[in-house]
Amino acid sequence: MSPGYALPLDSSADKKPDAGSPGIAPSWLDEGSILSEKHVVSIPQGQLRGKAVSSGILFAGIPYAGPPIGELRFRAPSSPPRWDGIRDCLEPGPSAMQQLDAAEGLPHYARSTVLGSPVSEDCLYLNVFTPAPDSALRPVMVWIHGGGLQTGSGDSWPFFEGTFLPDEVVLVTINYRLNIFGFLYLDEDFPDAFGTGNLGHLDQIAALQWVKENISLLGGDPGKVTVFGESAGGWSVSQLLAVPRARGLFTGAIVQSGGADTTVPVAQARERTRLVLEAIGVCAGDWLGLSQVPADELLAQAIGKYPGTDRGWGPFITTAGDSIVPRDSNAEIARGSARDVAVIVGSTHDEWSALRMAFPPAALPEPNYMSALSSLSISLDTLKAYYAERSESEQGAQATFESDWLFEVPTANLADALLAGGSPVWRYRFDWPSPVQDGSLGAFHAIEVPFVFNSLDDPAMLGDTPPHSIAIKLHGAWVDFATKRKVLKFGDAEWAEYTSTGRQVMTINSHSEVVDDPDTRLLPVWKPALTHRL
C-alpha cells in the first residue's frame, strides 16, 4: 500500500504480538505442525525447509539475490547464494531499509503498514506459499508491495497470508530495495555503474527471474506467471510492462492504482544525486567511500531533505530514460512491448481522499495545480472551479483533483497504451465506500487490497461488516485471470474486455456492473492529457 508510512518495530524481534493486535500471526499458520520430509525441497541453491500452513506450505525468507551490502551497495542484484545442507525458510527475511513512522492521522492504514521483520540492507528475499511442492504446475501470482517506493515489505497484512492456497495458486511476495538504496541515480558519475536509478526495479526483475528458474520445483508453472501490485507496486508493474529486461518473465499483469508515468527524468535524478553526494561528503566516482557511509546516514538523506516530483511523490523513485526504464513507458507499451501479456488495470473511486480528508483543513500543502496545468489548456481558475463543483468542501475538491491527476488519468492512459500495443485489457474501478470516519473517505486508496486477498479482518480500514460477497468475487476474478488469462465475469455480471469503442469499465460495489467510458467525467479539464482524446 502506498501511504508511505510504517509503524515502529518492537525492540524485540522475537516478541509475539498479543492476540487481536495488528501484528498478530495470521490464523492460517499451523504453529503445531511437525516438520517432515514433505517440507524440504531441493532447488539449485540448496535445500529449503518450509512449514505447514492451512491448505499448503510456506517457504519464507528465500534469498533470490546476493545481499546488496558493502561493495555491492548500489550495484545491480547479484546471483543468489548457494548453501550446503538444509536452509530453514520458516520466517520472512529482513525488510528493506526505510523510515519507520507511526502513520499518525491515518489509522485506517495502521495495520497494513506494520512491517513483519526488522529493516536491513540485506533485504532481497521472497516468500512462496504453495499448495504443495510437487509437479502440478499451478498458476503463479507474484505480488509487488506498495509504499511509494519508499516503504513497505512483502510480509505485511493482508498479502502475507495463505488466502490463495485453497484456489490451487502459488503466491510469491517479494522485498526490493527502496528510496535512496533503490533509486539513487549514479550511472553518469560512477565508473561501471549500471541501472542505479532503478535498482529497485532490477530487484523485481531478479525476483521474477528466480521464479522462472525455480517455481516449478515448488508446485508452480513458470509459463503462467501473473505479476500484480498496488500503488507503487502498480507503478512497478506498469514499468515492467515497458522494460525490455522483464520480457518473457510473466504473461499476465494486474495494475492496481498505478500508472507508467510516475517517474523522474535523468537530469533531475542526477542533480539530486549531486546534492546527496555533497551532503555525505563523497566525491563522484568514489565507490569505496560510498560503500562506507552508514546505512542510517544514507536513509536520513532520503527523508524530507529534497523536493519530491512534480506529482508529489518522494525524491527517489523510478528514473526514466536511463539504461533500464524507457523515457516514455506508455509510448513503449503502445508500440507493443507488452503485446504478449494480458492485463487488468484499475483504480478506486476516491483514491486520495484518505490523505486529504483524514487531516484538518490546511494541514497539508495545497495540491500542485500548476504542474497539472502544464499539460492542459485551461486556466487555474477554470481548473479549481471545475473541482469545486464536484465537491461540497475545499478538502473534497482537492482530494478529487489529486485522485484524477495522480490515478484516474494515468490509469486511463495506461489502458489505452496497452490497447494500442495489442494487449488484451480489462479495466475496473473499485467503488465500495468504507464506512470508517463516517464514510467521508469513500473508496479510498488501497481499499481494494484486502478484498483481493479475501482478508477482511481490519475494522479500522473496512468497518465492522465489510461485504464478504465483494471479496469472493474480486478474489475469484484475480484467480480466474491468473488461471485462464481472461476475465469473463465478476460474480454474475459479465466483464467485457476493454475496447477503443466502448472503453468498458467494471464498477465494483455491492451491485457491480460494466459501464461505458467513465472517463467522460474527466473531459471538461483533462481532455488534452488523455491519450485517447488527443
User: What 3-state class would DSSP assign to 395?
Assistant: helix
Residue linked to cell 518450509: 50
216: Cα within 13 Å, side-chain hemisphere: 8
- What is the Cα–Cα distance from 343 to 230, expressed in whole angstroms? 14
Radius of gyration of the chain (CA): 22
Alpha helices in 405-464 (DSSP H): 409-420, 449-452, 459-462
CB 157 within 8 A of CB 458: yes
pLDDT in tens, 263-315: 999 999 999 999 999 999 999 999 999 999 999 999 999 988 888 777 778 88
- pLDDT tier at 154 (50, 70, 90 boundaries)? very high
Catalytic residues: 231, 351, 445
Q: How many C-beta atoms lie closer than 10 Å to residue 115's C-beta?
A: 22
Q: Fold for 37-533, please state it.
A: Rossmann fold (3.40.50)
pLDDT digits (tens, 9 = 90+) for 92-128: 999 999 988 746 668 899 999 899 899 999 999 999 9
pLDDT, average across residues 254-271:
94
In the chain, what are the domain boundaries?
Answer: 37-533
Q: For 28-40, what is the mean pLDDT?
A: 60
Quick check: 337 and 242 in contact, CB under 8 A?
Answer: yes
pTM: 0.93
Element (H, E) at 299: helix 295-301
Q: Where are the alpha helices (DSSP H) in 318-453?
A: 329-334, 353-357, 369-373, 380-389, 394-403, 409-420, 449-452
Closest-CA residue to 446 (of 125, 152, 162)? 152
Q: Is the pLDDT of residue 30 over 80?
A: no
